[in-house]
C-alpha cells in the first residue's frame, strides 16, 4: 500500500512549502519509497486529528501513523532497514541532530524574516487569519514589522550559514560524499523559502548555494520541479 503524507499546501494546492514536510519528501525519495501526498491546510486540523496532534507532516504507512519529521525519519530507517539509511549509526544521528538544531535555532528566524509576507500571501485565504494571529503572538509583533528587507536577509543568512559553508568547502554534502538525513534537515528550510518567495537567501558564489543546487537536482529534480507560488 502506498505511503500517504499530509503535506502543508498554499492557496494553490500544488504549492508545498513546509520545511518539515520537505525533509520527509526527500527522505522517502532517498529510501526509494513512493508517496501520495495529501494537501493539508492550517485550518484542516480535523483532517489530522487521528494522529493525536495538529502539525504536519503526518505519515500513514498501512496501519501505522507517525508524526514529527524526526520520528518519521527514525521510523523509515527502522522499518525499511534494507534500503539506504538516512542516519548511519550513532555518529550519523548526532550529525543530523546538530544540523536539525542549526536549522531550527539559527536559520529559521532569518529565513522567516525574509519571507514572512510572501508566505502569508501564498496561503489560502481561509488560512491567513489563523497564520497571522498565531505567528504575531509567537513573534510578538505584526508580520509587516517582522519582515526585513532583501539585502538585510542576505546579510543575515551569509553569517548564519558560516559553519555550514566551511563544512561544504571540505565535502560535497553535510553527510559526506553522499546526501542523507542531515542534508534533508537543512534543505527543507530552503524549500520553505523557495516555494513561496523569490528573495535571495544565498549569494551565487556561496558553496551553500552550490550545495542547494545539487539538492534541487536530486531524485530527478524532485524539489526543483515542485510548484512555486505565483509572485
Ligand atoms: N517538530 C515538528 C514540527 C512540525 C511543524 O511545526 N509543522 C508546521 C508546518 S511547517 C505545522 O504543521 N503547523 C501547524 C500550525 O502551526 O498550526 C516536525 O519536525 O515535524
Whether 187 is in the pocket of ligand 1, judged by its Cβ within 6 Å, is no
Angle, CA 88 vertex, CA 59 and CA 35 arms, to 5°: 25
pLDDT number for residue 2: 94
Q: What is the pLDDT of residue 231?
A: 72
Q: CA 28 to CA 33: how far, in whole Å?
A: 5
Q: Residue 1: what pLDDT?
A: 83
Q: Residue 42 has what pLDDT? A: 97
Find out whether 80 and 86 touch, Cβ atoms under 8 Å.
Answer: no
pLDDT digit string, tens, across residues 92-131: 999 999 999 999 999 999 999 999 999 999 999 999 999 9
Question: Max CA-CA distance within the chain?
Answer: 49
Distance between CA atoms of residues 203 and 49, nearest Å? 41
- Ligand 1 centroid to Cα of residue 67, in Å, is 10
- Which of 41, 46, 55, 59 has most ligand 1 atoms within 8 Å of CB, for mutation? 55
Q: Is the CB of 20 under 6 A from ligand 1?
A: yes
- Of 179, 182, 178, 184, give the one whose Cα is nearest residue 26: 184
| Structural domains present in the chain | 3-79 (3.40.30.10), 89-221 (1.20.1050.10)
User: Which H, E and C letters describe 116-131, residue by residue?
Assistant: HHHHHHHCCCCCHHHH
Closest ligand 1 atom number to CA of residue 40: 12
Question: Is the dihedral angle over the CA atoms 23, 24, 28, 29 positive or is it negative?
Answer: negative
Q: Report which protein residue has its CA nearest ligand 1's atom 14.
A: 55
Q: Measured from the CA of 130, which atom of ligand 1 is nearest? A: 17
Cell of 35: 508517496
Q: H/E element holding 3?
A: strand 3-8
CA distances from 87 to 15, 49, 74 (A): 28, 29, 8
Residues of the chain short of pLDDT 70, as ranges, are none
Amino acid at each position: 500500500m502506498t505511503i500517504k503524507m499530509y503535506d502543508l499546501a498554499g492557496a494553490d494546492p500544488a504549492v508545498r512549502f513546509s520545511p518539515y514536510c520537505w525533509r520527509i519528501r526527500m527522505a522517502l525519495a532517498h529510501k526509494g519509497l513512493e508517496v501520495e501526498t495529501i494537501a493539508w491546510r492550517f485550518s484542516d486540523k480535523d483532517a489530522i486529528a487521528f494522529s493525536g496532534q495538529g502539525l504536519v507532516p503526518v505519515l500513514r504507512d498501512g496501519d501505522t501513523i507517525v508524526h514529527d519529521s524526526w520520528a518519521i525519519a527514525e521510523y523509515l530507517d527502522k522499518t525499511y532497514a534494507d534500503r539506504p539509511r538516512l542516519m548511519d549509526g550513532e555518529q550519523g544521528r548526532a550529525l543530523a541532530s546538530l544540523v536539525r538544531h542549526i536549522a531550527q535555532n539559527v536559520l529559521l528566524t532569518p529565513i522567516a524574516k525574509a519571507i514572512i509576507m510572501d508566505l502569508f500571501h501564498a496561503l489560502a485565504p481561509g488560512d491567513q487569519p489563523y497564520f497571522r494571529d498565531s505567528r504575531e503572538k509567537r513573534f510578538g509583533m505584526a508580520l509587516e514589522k517582522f519582515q526585513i528587507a532583501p539585502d538585510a536577509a542576505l546579510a543575515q543568512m551569509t553569517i548564519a550559514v558560516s559553519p555550514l559553508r566551511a563544512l561544504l568547502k571540505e565535502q560535497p554534502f553535510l553527510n559526506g560524499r553522499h546526501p542523507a538525513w542531515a542534508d534533508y534537515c537543512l534543505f527543507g528550510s530552503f524549500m520553505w523559502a523557495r516555494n513561496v518567495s523569490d528573495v535571495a537567501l544565498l549569494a551565487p558564489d556561496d558553496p551553500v548555494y552550490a550545495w542547494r543546487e545539487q539538492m534541487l537536482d536530486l531524485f530527478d529534480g524532485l524539489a526543483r520541479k515542485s510548484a512555486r507560488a505565483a509572485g
